[in-house]
A = this chain, B = another copy of it.
Amino acid sequence: MAEAGVGMDAEREEGGERDLEEPLLKRSPSLTTSHLAMVGSKVSRMESLDYEIIENDLFQHDWRSRSRVEVLQYVFLKWTLAFLVGLLTGAIASLINLAVENIAGAKMIAVTRLVNQQRYLAGVAYLTGINLALTAIAAVLCVGIAPTAAGPGIPEIKAYLNGVDTPNMYGASTLFVKIVGSIGAVAAGLDLGKEGPLVHIGTCIAALLGQGGGGAAGGRRRWRWLRYIDNDRDRRDLITLGASSGVCAAFRAPVGGVLFALEEVATCTAVVVVVLRGFTELCDSGSCGLFGRGGLILFDVGDVQVTYHAADLLPVAAIGVIGGLLGSLYNFLLHKVLRFYSLINEKGRAAKLILSLSVSIFTSLCVFSLPFLGRCTPCDAGLPAGVCPTTSRTGKFKQFNCAAGYYNDLASLLQSTNDDAVRHIFSATAAPAEYSPAALLVFFALYCVLGLFTFGIAVPSGLFLPIILMGSGYGRLLGLAMKPYTQLDQGLYAVLGAAALMAGSMRMTVSLCVIFLELTNNLLLLPITMIVLLIAKTVGDVFNPSIYEIILELKGLPFLEPNPEPWMRNLTVGELAAAKPTVVSLSGVERVGRLLEVLNSTTHNGFPVVDHRPKAVVAELHGLVLRSHIIAVLRKRWFLGERRRTEEWEARERFTSEDLAERGRSVGDLEITEEEKEMFVDLHPFTNMTPHTVVETMSVAKAVVLFREIGLRHLLIVPKNQGPGVAPLVGILTRQDLRAHNILGAFPHISNRKARRNRDKASS
């Protein structure tokens, strides 16, 4: 993943310079912003979403004419979509689980058979070969068909919900690749989870339903009744629906899923859980193939003894602190690894494929060979013959290379599916230690290494499971160490360790808490889980940002933080706007030729519309017109012979709000004749007459709060002292301009505390 914004400085914001105002802006350090970022593993153009209420003649008319029936239709539509999204997400999640468990199961049976015959070389070859094939399927699909399906998808979704348009993320091909790729990658035994991919799958389903079948990147097939979902706000709600359905499906955690999003998505998640439960019951009866339970993640530690005393708070705090330290260390190292991988990925598709396959080979070899270091432990007498050593596929005590009546503890840890491994590690210990300290150490070390090197490859992957595996490993090790001093159950240590590492890396607390609650089905764990999460998060926050923020930064996605940086109060929006190129504005009634020129030569998405009255001394700002609306007018070819204002009804009878709601149209495919270029377009009916404005002396911090809270795309800066000879507009700021990263690029000393103190002293 290349660092967009530095290496790929392709397009800058310069354009045609025919402005009608006096240039008031001095050329200061210039604000360079890149519009490119990494979506999945694909470099794409970034644009912001726009939640501002557009107030022009056309829209006002449309709103007023929406009848009560239409409003009810809209509400009914939303509920139906929510239900369908939940249903489909639950169904697909169940199918993925079944497929993975069946494929992995068949694979393990064959390998076990070879091992039992002591044909070890054949075994390792078989395992490696099958895993390689599965990985190849996933990687080829990702690299070839849908590069946006690589990785978890969660950073891009977070960015979308933050207001960044992430193109090509939610199409049908992405969905297909994500599903098949996930199955392949997980069944191949790679150290990655399907939770992140499930969230992405949920959003794809939601987006596709909302589009009525057409892709988000285009496609005109839209069911008539979907015309209500034609604005960014509704689309965002739909994506949110999908994301929480995905979380719910991944963890069987409806409330956790809801916490991921808004209250209206409760329908979705309730449906998902019902569907999943249905499948679970079905599979309990054994009709689901090899793995009886269908492999739904359910780390049922209901039998864990949860009695804790005041003295236990110390080890619990220790778990939290270590989780925080390890979590931030993981973030740091993963950052380095991802940057290294981005160098490799730049070399082309073949390089990406080879990387993925190498990781697969490495994983298979480790998983097969390391257990030879394992200790053959005699089975506990109390356990019946079929349980230890296990003859079933999900069993805990694998024989591997040991004699009858013995089990290999390292093989038991490594040679199950990842879900089973977690289940085993979380299990309560009624009997004496089942895993030797050495086995746990090898397990922990291996998954640390795999956890670092698996995530960035070009297959759908998730972060949750690797972190849970690492965390439970260190948790259990810590439990062994603390054994003489505490009565806490060993399995509980593993659970807390996993929770602590997740908080230490991802820095989420409430959602995680609820997810763990619903995972473990044990309410009594809640208080100490919360304490552990909080401690881990706090410790981790001291060192570096959360892993998702790091990934967002690497991908160059312009995520706007909820709280402005403190140094943003030292800079005014006027100074910031002065660092940008001059604003390109349009006349209220503009020549078609000029419109085309402006659209082709700039990448701006909003243009101020300025009127010059005959008697007025200064131009008057009418409002802001969006690029997409200009393109819509040009496509309809509503051209005027002479430069005149039109009546309100003229626009209304030619355009509906549907016409203006399309996104993503380009101007390139328009064919305008030379004659037409001399005609005029009246922009007034399409201009947003009440754009949000701030005075130029306002601090950037205050402007960022406004921008973020409302969800703006453009913020207009007006001068403080208006009057004759003063231009009505100082500049326009967009999301990219307000990012800390970019501002520091233009004003590098602004965050320097020493420089500020000197400046203060100088001015007092």
Listed in ascending order, the chain A residues whose CB lies under 8 Å from chain B are: 53, 55, 60-61, 63-65, 254-255, 258-259, 263, 266-267, 269-270, 273-274, 277, 509-510, 513-514, 517-518, 521, 523, 526-527, 530-531, 533-534, 566, 569-570, 616-618, 620, 648-649, 652, 689-690, 692-695, 697-699, 701-702, 705-706, 709-710, 721-724, 728, 756, 760, 763-764
Contacts and interface: CB of A to CB of B under 8 A. Distances in A.
Q: Which of A63, A527, A617 has the most CB of B within 10 A?
A: A527
A531 B510 CA distance: 23
Contacts of A570: 64
A53 B699 CA distance: 10
B764 A263 contact: no
Nearest to A721: B620
Given A527-B277, A530-B270, A701-B53, A514 B263 contact: no
Given A255-B514, A258-B510, A517-B255, A764 B649 contact: yes
Given A55-B702, A706-B692, A760 B569 contact: no
A651 to B, nearest CB: 12
A527 B690 contact: no
How many copies are assembled? Answer: 2
Contacts of A693: 693-695
B266 A513 contact: yes
A519 to B, nearest CB: 10
B53 A705 contact: yes
A693 B721 CA distance: 14
Given A534-B266, A692-B706, A698-B690, A273 B55 contact: no
Given A64-B570, A255-B510, A523 B526 contact: no
Contact of A55 (B55, B60, B65, B699): B699
29 contacts: A53-B701, A55-B702, A60-B569, A63-B569, A64-B569, A64-B756, A64-B760, A254-B530, A255-B517, A255-B526, A259-B259, A263-B509, A266-B510, A266-B530, A267-B534, A269-B530, A273-B527, A274-B527, A274-B531, A518-B523, A617-B723, A620-B721, A648-B764, A652-B764, A690-B694, A690-B702, A692-B706, A722-B723, A723-B724
Q: Which of A258, A722, A760, A763 has the most chain B CB atoms inside 10 A of its CB?
A: A722
A362 B77 CA distance: 49
A128 B61 CA distance: 65
A210 to B, nearest CB: 20
A503 to B, nearest CB: 11
Contact of A697 (B64, B517, B518, B690): B690
A530 to B, nearest CB: 4
Contacts of A274: 527, 531
Nearest to A313: B274
Nearest to A310: B278
Nearest to A763: B648
Contacts of A258: 510
A534 B270 contact: yes
B723 A618 contact: yes
A509 B709 contact: no
Contacts of A53: 699, 701-702, 705
Nearest to A709: B709
A648 B763 CA distance: 10
A266 B648 CA distance: 54
A130 B760 CA distance: 70
Contact of A254 (B270, B527, B616): B527
Scoring A509, A530, A534 by chain B CB atoms within 10 A of each residue's CB, the highest score goes to A530
A63 B274 CA distance: 52
Given A63-B566, A649-B764, 4 more contacts: A64-B756, A690-B699, A693-B694, A709-B710
Contacts of A267: 530, 534
A509 B268 CA distance: 13
A203 B526 CA distance: 23
A479 to B, nearest CB: 21
B697 A705 contact: no
Nearest to A529: B270
Contact of A523 (B259, B521, B694): B521
A756 B61 CA distance: 11
Contacts of A534: 266-267, 270
A303 to B, nearest CB: 14
A690 B701 contact: no
A717 to B, nearest CB: 11
Contacts of A64: 569-570, 756, 760
A531 B270 contact: yes
A581 B209 CA distance: 52
Contacts of A617: 723
Contacts of A569: 60, 63-64
Contacts of A509: 263, 266
A702 to B, nearest CB: 5
A697 B689 contact: yes
Contacts of A273: 526-527
A692 B689 CA distance: 17
A710 B692 CA distance: 13
A270 B527 contact: yes
Given A569-B63, A690-B702, A722-B722, A254 B526 contact: yes
